[in-house]
Chains A and B, each alone.
Chain A
Amino acid sequence: MHRFGLILIATLAGVLAAPAIAQTQIRAEALGDPESGQTVFLRDCAFCHQIGSDARNGVGPQLNRIYDRGAGSIDGFNYSPGLRRMGVDGLVWTYETLDAYIANPRALVSGTRMSYRGLRDEQERHDLLAYLRAYSDQPQNIPESAPTARPTLPELSTDTLQIVGDPEYGEYLSGECITCHQRSGADQGIPSIVGWFEEDFVVALHAYKQGLRPHPVMQMMASRLDDEQIAALAAYFASLNE
């Protein structure tokens, strides 16, 4: 539980703090290696996914031209309601969103049917993404090659997750959420957010804040929550039972 929360936070902080942090802090990183990526694909993904010519849907949808593809958009594949909802809301597979999904599927897409626990190794993810990129329409347009520098700020992420939420503050802040998300946990067009694991909750809100999860209302809500407020909300909502 803890571990996977940490992984996505690292990813999010890395990808998204980009505009905010000074250029000097960005450290260049090696490109992912598609050949190593193939090994990872065969080990972790091929059981469920096909890719390449003749690829068909299996347990999971085929992954050709995954970059720039709308999430949940392959006709005839029976996606989970969660992934379909994200697609309708506008989730598109990019380097960043794929990275986040593969790192921790459930934290990006609540209730996803992909029962894969997540790939924690950052280098393996880069390699895998480079491999998937080779099966895309115009690999040169996918911003993995240039610029080659990607920011990473993993220290920040650990701190973020370790903030102990103030539940009283969380209860006050929750007033803003309860107008849409029912305290009872009922889900009638707007998903339930009570009784989540704190880590998942924190990761999901950061994903909205950073624009990885689509949805204008939630992006706006999350954009003005700081780390401490997110922790407070996570603590409060985790304490409620459905």
Chain B
Amino acid sequence: MSLINRRSFLATAAAASAALSAPMVLAQGRPKVIVIGGGAGGATAARYIAKDSDGAIDVTLIEPTRQYYTCFFSNLYLGGFWEYENLGHSYGTLASEYGINVVHDWAVGVDRDAKTVSLAGGHTLPYDRLIIAPGIDFVDGSVPGWDISAQARMPHAYKAGSQTQLLKHQVESMREGGTFAMVAPPNPYRCPPGPYERVSMVAHVLKERNPTAKILILDPKANFSKQALFEDGWSRHYDGMIERIGPDFGGGNVEVRPEAMEVVIDGEVQAVDVCNVIPAQKAGRIAHLAGVTDEGGWAPVTPTDMRSRVDDSIFVLGDSSNQGAMPKSGFSANSQAKVAANNVRADLTGSRVFPARYSNTCWSLIGTDDGIKVGASYEPGTDQIESVSSFISAVGEDAGLRQRTYEESIGWYEGITADIFG
């Protein structure tokens, strides 16, 4: 079967959800790569391996959802700057253009000795190299009173999709003069500026619809990402609306009561109207099941190639990895995926290995046309990925530059989503 035929066959097979058995037969003899998780890290890796190996490697991507909603820009959707539909991306192109076997199922186990992955649907798939990129899961009990069953009353909205829609709805229908509370997470967590960009976007909505409302941030961290820039922006755009309680004043000792819609701060009960709980985080569950995580809850990798320190045949990408200095971001996951893809191909087909290069930039929107950014480039150090140079927006930049920074972030969104999903 020619490459073209094989590709369209796979596409049809994937579309018909009959993807599993047939392509495995076709793939006999070619080395097999399985990618668990079709997010910023996993989908990029699958695409680069398939694209650059020109069919020499059989790539299977396991991802339960048919439509991936990006967390990045989900805050802009909350603020009314971005359409919900524009957050969604499908796997159609990865299947049809790149011949990736996209399997919509959960990975529920990894047998590292047999080199197989088992799926919730009952199938077991063999691999030569495995990429684990399942994003984050929440640490049970990290916010007393909250567990995943409370997410309808107190949403986390830290995995995008219906949670983000729910939070937006709650903010927009909050009673006049009500209180929006956010329980911010401890380090490390995905997207360091994410909670604070979210507060900015919620404040933007409230200022327009409900100007007497208040925002309360309960924060276990003494400092946070781009703090000076956010605080400057908050005082310029939303003066008096936002209060942050840090660890000195009990922000690290918080319990929530979803039924009563209360938060307890250092023993003091306060009624709230909307409560966004962002719990402490750890690597996605499948990384733990595969036995590649450490006591901190993340999967340690070697800085030159993102290979698991526990198993040479496994690579861990994105939020789940413990790699060193890179923040957990979509940009980082995408950057790491290209390094891993280069090494996976070299392992399996002997192609050239180029030196690892990583980078990250995180844009945040504070208010209309008021964008800021922080970024750095990284290289492998002896044990970990290390930062080699960095930059950050400055307080007091003129409005034209802030607007241009916002426009750039839109360019980046279009660029990275094209790079992830084809």
Contact = CB atoms under 8 A, between A and B. Distances in A.
Interface stretch (A42-50, A97-105, A152-160, A165-173): A165-173
Contacts of A189: 407-412, 414
A217 B375 contact: yes
Contact of A179 (B335, B388, B401, B410): B335
Contacts of A216: 373, 375, 391
Interface string A168-194: 110011011011111110111110000
Interface residues of B, number: 33
A178 B415 contact: yes
Interface in B323-358: 331, 334-335, 338, 342, 352, 354, 357
B408 A85 contact: no
B167 to A, nearest CB: 27
A217 B392 CA distance: 9
Contacts of A219: 391
A30 interface: no
A143 interface: no
A147 B357 CA distance: 39
B375 A182 contact: no
B411 A180 contact: yes
B54 to A, nearest CB: 13
Contacts of B357: 173, 176, 224
Interface in A215-235: 216-217, 219-221, 223-224
Contacts, number: 83
A148 B357 CA distance: 40
B400 interface: yes
A89 interface: yes
B383 interface: no
Contacts of B389: 220, 223-224
Which one of A172, A178, A183 has the highest number of Cβ atoms from chain B below 10 Å of its Cβ? A172
B390 A181 contact: no
A88 interface: yes
Interface string B352-383: 10100101010000000000010111000000
Contacts of A52: none
Given A173-B357, A176-B335, A217-B391, A184 B418 contact: yes
B73 interface: no
Interface string B379-422: 00000000011110000000011001001111110111011000
Contacts of A176: 335, 338, 357, 359
B69 interface: no
Instruction: Report whether over half of chain B's contact residues are helix, strand or loop; otherwise say mixed.
Output: helix
Given A176-B335, A189-B409, A217-B373, A182 B404 contact: no
A58 interface: no
Given A179-B331, A224-B388, A89 B404 contact: yes
Contacts of B375: 216-217, 220
A90 interface: yes
Contacts of A89: 401, 404
Contact of B411 (A169, A190, A221): A190
A182 B414 CA distance: 8
B48 interface: yes
Contact of A181 (B48, B388, B400, B415): B415
Nearest to A191: B411
Nearest to B404: A88
Contacts of B388: 224
Interface in A110-136: none
A186 B407 CA distance: 14
Contacts of A178: 415, 419
Which one of B331, B404, B411 has the highest number of Cβ atoms from chain A below 10 Å of its Cβ? B411
Contacts of A183: 418-419
Which one of B357, B407, B409, B416 has the highest number of Cβ atoms from chain A below 10 Å of its Cβ? B357
Contacts of B377: 220-221, 224
A17 to B, nearest CB: 19
A221 B335 CA distance: 13
Contacts of A182: 414-415, 418
Nearest to A175: B338
B334 A179 contact: yes
Interface in A196-230: 216-217, 219-221, 223-224
B410 A188 contact: yes
B48 A179 contact: no
A88 B401 contact: yes
A85 B404 CA distance: 8
A179 B411 contact: no
Interface in A3-51: none
B415 A172 contact: no
B414 A186 contact: yes
Contacts of A186: 414
Contacts of A168: 352
Interface of A: 85, 88-90, 168-169, 172-173, 175-176, 178-184, 186-190, 216-217, 219-221, 223-224
29 contacts: A88-B400, A88-B404, A169-B354, A172-B338, A173-B354, A175-B335, A175-B338, A178-B415, A179-B335, A180-B361, A180-B415, A182-B415, A182-B418, A183-B419, A187-B411, A188-B411, A188-B414, A189-B408, A189-B410, A190-B408, A190-B412, A216-B375, A217-B361, A217-B373, A217-B391, A220-B359, A220-B376, A220-B389, A220-B391
Given A173-B354, A220-B376, A223-B389, 9 more contacts: A172-B354, A176-B357, A176-B359, A183-B418, A187-B411, A190-B408, A217-B361, A224-B357, A224-B388
The 3 A-B pairs with the shortest beta carbon distances in the complex, nearest first, are: A189-B411, A190-B411, A216-B391
